[in-house]
């Protein structure tokens, strides 16, 4: 009976570790997804900024 309980505990521990690893992986994926979204935001911001700057007449830059 004791041996059975030990095996059961090992099994539960392994399941718990697997679950924790899965959660960690999900968190990493979520954070990298967020990071990617932020980078995309910067990219679009600079694209729009560049278009606005280039649409100005060049004389105004150096006056």
Q: Which residue has the tokens 């995309």?
A: 40
- pTM of this prediction exceeds 0.75: no
Q: Is residue 63 part of a domain?
A: no
Q: How does pLDDT run across 7-56, given as a tens digit for each residue?
A: 889 999 999 999 999 999 899 888 888 889 999 999 999 999 988 888 87
Q: Is residue 12 part of a domain?
A: yes
pLDDT band (50, 70, 90) for residue 60: low
Question: Rounded to whole angstroms, how far apart are CA atoms 12 and 46?
Answer: 51
Q: What are phi and psi of 34, to 5 degrees?
A: -60, -45
Q: Is residue 62 part of a domain?
A: no
Q: Which residue has the tokens 């505990």?
A: 9
Task: Provide the domain limits for residue 50.
Answer: 2-57
DSSP 19-48: HHHHHHHHHHHHHHHHHHHHHHHHHHHHHH
């Amino acid at each position: 009976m004791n041996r059975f309980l030990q095996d059961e505990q090992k099994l539960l521990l392994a399941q718990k570790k697997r679950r924790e690893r899965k959660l960690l992986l999900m968190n990493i994926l979520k954070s990298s997804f967020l990071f990617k979204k932020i980078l995309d935001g910067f990219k679009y911001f600079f694209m729009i900024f560049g278009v606005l700057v280039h649409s100005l007449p060049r004389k105004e830059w150096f006056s």
